[in-house]
Amino acid sequence: MSGHSTYEPKTGFERWLDSRLPILRFAQDTMVSFPTPKNLNYWWTFGGILAMMLGIQIVTGIILAMHYVPHVDYAFNSVERIMRDVNYGWLVRYTHANGASMFFLAVYVHMFRNLYYGSYKAPREVLWILGCIIYILMMGTAFFGYVLPWGQMSFHGAVVITNLIGAIPLVGPSITTWLWGGFAVDDPTLNRFFSLHYLLPFVIAGVVGLHIWALHVPGNNNPTGVEVKSKEDTVPFHPYYTVKDGFAISVFLILYASFVFFMPNVLGDAINYVQANPLQTPLHIVPEWYLLPFYAILRAVPNKLMGVVAMGGALITLFVLPWLDTSKVKSMRYRPTARLYFFIFILACLVLGVCGAHAPDDLVIPGFSGLQFLDANINSYVWLSRIGALYYFAYFYVITPLLGLTETPLPVPDSISTPVLSHPASAPTGAAASPEKRG
Amino acid sequence: MVDTVAGAGPDPHVSGDDPNRRDFIHIAAGVAALGVVGGLAWPFIDQMNPAGDTLALASIEFDLSKVVQGQQVVVKWRGKPLFVRYRTPAEIAAAIKDDHADLRDPQTDEARHKPGKAQYLVLIGVCTHLGCVPTFGGGDYGGWLCPCHGSVYDTSGRIRRGPAPKNLEVPDYSFLSDTKIKVG
């Protein structure tokens, strides 16, 4: 896509096609000969894993839609029918349900890798923003999908999330009614959620196309954060990264399969195997694990509107990150102080996840009664999630801008090849030969 | 990769265009990948076949005492119309008379009903041309006429005229008692 093409049509047909629809040239330039930094580590394999996950979710989802009935009277039973009667229905459904979790697991690794190596910085801001859009689309798709089995958690989760919109002053309640298509979450809601759940993955696929386009213009970032300076710094995408990605995908599939075949329900909530009952809410409403940190931020704020604003703000913040970061050094490999705050940030996200899974008034340290501070016990998950949320925002709006101005980074190498070539003993001549060539 | 990095002297495994270890790995990996894809494809294909509950509903029982002589009852079986006809003696006689006429799909009337139960004719009511439902009482043979393309069946449900290639199909069924049959 960028730089000049190395594609040479070999047959008459390829020449004929190339002057009409240069699709083979496009494939060759983007997936075969694309110059890729030669020092990418395994954290860079998650892009390929995510592309695979999107494919798996679309294929299994289309199959499930062949057997699913989006009607409040039949939805729950049609899912049970898929599990019991449809040939391999259990396999397709467990692959799809656990696939959502695996998709989010991979996207979180992908995003944290991005934060650590500063991949969102110039010239890759648009690439990062497109990624954030994909992430939000994924959250919407996952939410709509979770409603479809019409279990207790599906129904009451949908009630809670749609009621968030009601927090908007003046127009909120009208918008909520418009979303529901009635006066509560009911059949019209289920039907439109099914429609949107089918639509959004294809929107995601479209944005993924833009994401890859935006990747191929500046090319990959790399663990040093130093831009590619010469051809010496790159290797062709195939076979080097097709094989590396392929290996990572295989390992990832082992993890995925171990969930699908040995603990398919461990990431879900047992109460969702009880059919939705609008007259009785489960004792404890929790979203799926991948949405827990945002749920914790929502509940950390004691005001309905401000809670929604905080949760939305946590997502919007990601979009402006490239302009909050003042550091000229991309990779935290050369930013020891930033690295420390980054690891605390990961911890804060995990703590928020744990907080989201517990009832707000649960005690963090059992047996320790704690003491009342303002509106809640200091030893409750409310306060822990407030600390977590505070760090989440402080990391982006205080630490990241200030650190870039005050810290002293370690010396950054001149090019990707420099750190390797400065140790002649570790780089035998011929190491960069072409093992993809025959022999 | 080790071979090239070592770089000391020519690789003893390489000689001209003979297959070497790398070719072997390529072929082995390709075949393994093909096997995996094939294995994974099957569940995705098989899921479209009839599901367990669909198959469980594939047979029905029918009480023949509900049909009187000269009457035809239509019931749904596997999503299609099933004709259960109580034939008059005149119809049976007409069917037997034509057993050796010039039939497109030759079959005797006896082969189309259960022994000793010539009065009961059980047929799948789907025209063997393109799947329409024939109506009783039309055509020149006292049997059925398909409204779509004019196929004519006789009192035994055999094709006599028109574009259909086969007789109306007789499903698998058996008598559970004198008046009760199980179809499928």
CATH number of the CATH domain containing A360? 1.10.287.980
- Report, as an integer, the average pLDDT of A271-291: 92
Beta carbons within 8 Å of A329's beta carbon, 6+ residues apart = A118, A225, A335, A409, A412
Which residues of chain B does A435 touch, with a Cβ-Cβ cutoff of 8 Å? Answer: 1, 4
**What predicted TM-score, i.e. pTM, was given to this entire model?**
0.86
Residue B59 has pLDDT above 90, yes or no: no
Q: Count Cβ–Cβ pairs < 8 Å, chain A vs chain B.
A: 56
Q: Considering B26, B100, B129, B149, which one is annotated as catalytic? A: B149
Q: To the nearest whole percent, how much of chain A has pLDDT over 70?
A: 95
Phi, psi of A118 (to 5 degrees): 60, 30
CATH of domain B54-183: 2.102.10.10
Q: What is the pLDDT of residue A355?
A: 95
Tell me what pLDDT residue B6 has.
45
Please indicate, yes or no, whether residues A116 and A175 belong to a single structural domain of this protein: yes
Verify whether residue B26 is a known catalytic residue: no
β-pair partners for B135: B145
A439 CB near a chain B CB, below 8 Å? yes
Verify that A257 and A321 share a domain, yes or no.
Answer: no
Q: Which CATH number goes with the domain that contains A100?
A: 1.20.810.10
Residue A91 near chain B (CB below 8 Å): yes
Q: Shortest Cα distance from A81 to chain B (angstroms)?
A: 8
Same domain, A225 and A102: yes
pLDDT band at residue B10 under the 50/70/90 scheme: low
In the predicted model, is pLDDT for residue A245 greater than 60?
A: yes
CB contact under 8 A, A91 and B43: yes
Confidence of residue B1 (pLDDT cuts 50, 70, 90): very low
Q: Which of residues 243-282 of A touch B (CB under 8 A)?
A: none
Residue A177 lies in a domain: yes
Q: B66: how many CB neighbours lie within 10 A of its CB?
A: 12
Does A290 share its domain with A215? no
Are residues A265 and A158 part of one domain?
A: yes
Q: Please name which of A434, A45, A42, A49 lies closest in space to residue A235, comparing C-alpha atoms.
A: A434
Q: Among A274, A305, A334, where does a domain finish?
A: A274
- Band (pLDDT 50/70/90 cuts) for residue B7 is very low
Is residue A435 in a domain?
no
Spell out which residues of chain B touch residue A89, defining contact as CB-CB under 8 Å.
47, 51
Binary contact (B47, A439; C-beta < 8 A): no
Checking if the pLDDT of A209 tops 90, the result is yes
Residue A257 included in any domain: yes
- pLDDT tens-digit readout, A21-53: 999 999 999 999 999 999 999 999 999 999 999
Q: What residues contact residue A392 under an 8 Å CB cut-off, 6+ apart?
A: A293, A297, A314, A345, A348, A349, A352
Q: Where is pLDDT greater, at B30 or B139?
A: B30
> Tens of pLDDT along A370-380?
788 888 888 89
Check whether residue A315 and residue A239 sit in a common domain: no
Q: Are residues A225 and A290 in the same domain?
A: no
Contact A428 B11 (CB under 8 A): no
The H-assigned helical ranges of A358-437 are 381-394, 400-406, 418-421
Gap between the Cα atoms of B9 and A55, Å rounded: 46
Q: Do B52 and A84 touch (CB under 8 A)?
A: yes
Sequence-distant (6+) residues with CB within 8 A of A283 are none
CB-based contact, B17 to chain A, within 8 Å: no
Same domain assignment for residues A375 and A395: yes
For residue range A247-259, what is the model confidence (pLDDT) as tens digits?
Answer: 999 999 999 999 9
Picking from B4, B46, B54, the nearest residue to A433 by CB comes out as B4
Q: How many domains does chain A have?
A: 2
Q: What is the ipTM of this complex?
A: 0.76
Residue A1 has what pLDDT? 43
Range of the domain at A124: 1-8+20-274
Identity of the residue in B20, B22, B46 whose CB atom sits nearest the CB atom of A88: B46
Question: Does any domain span residue A375?
Answer: yes
Residues 6+ apart with CB under 8 A from A170: none
- Whether A67 sits inside 8 A of B20 (CB atoms) is no
Q: Hey, is the C-beta of B49 within 8 angstroms of any chain A C-beta?
A: yes
Question: A248 and A133 in one domain?
Answer: yes
The answer on A172 and A306 residing in a single domain is no
Choose among A66, A88, A429: nearest Cβ to B43. Answer: A88
B52 and A85 within 8 Å at the Cβ level: the answer is yes
Contact state of B7 with A439 under an 8 Å Cβ cutoff: no
Determine the pLDDT at residue B149: 93
Q: Flag if A88 and B48 touch (Cβ within 8 Å).
A: no
